[in-house]
């Protein structure tokens, strides 16, 4: 394995699980993982420039609401 400090997906999930309450349900865990995945996806999109400015978003909304 590489010597970098990036955690694997498995390590990240295990860390997330350890932070959850002991009585967490499977549904709680799945919801937490889903939210975490969406956050990571959004961060990757921001880093790669895949986003709209506030003004662009307002223009898009105007078109949708016609």
Please state the rounded mean pLDDT for residues 26-46. 95
pTM as predicted: 0.66
- Confidence class for position 26, pLDDT limits 50, 70, 90: very high
Q: How far apart are CA 33 and CA 13, in angstroms?
A: 8
DSSP 8: P
Position 66 pLDDT exceeds 90: no
pLDDT of residue 5: 63
Q: Do 29 and 20 form a contact (C-beta atoms < 8 A)?
A: yes
Q: Do 37 and 49 form a contact (C-beta atoms < 8 A)?
A: no
Cβ-Cβ contacts under 8 Å for 9 (sequence gap 6 or more)? none
Q: Which secondary-structure segment (H or E) carries 54?
A: helix 54-64
């Amino acid at each position: 394995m590489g010597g970098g400090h990036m955690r694997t997906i498995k390590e990240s999930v295990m860390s997330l699980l350890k932070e959850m309450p002991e009585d967490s349900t499977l549904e709680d865990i799945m919801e937490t993982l889903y939210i975490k995945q969406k956050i990571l996806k959004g961060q990757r999109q921001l880093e790669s420039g895949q986003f709209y400015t506030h003004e662009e978003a307002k223009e898009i909304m105007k078109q949708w609401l016609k």
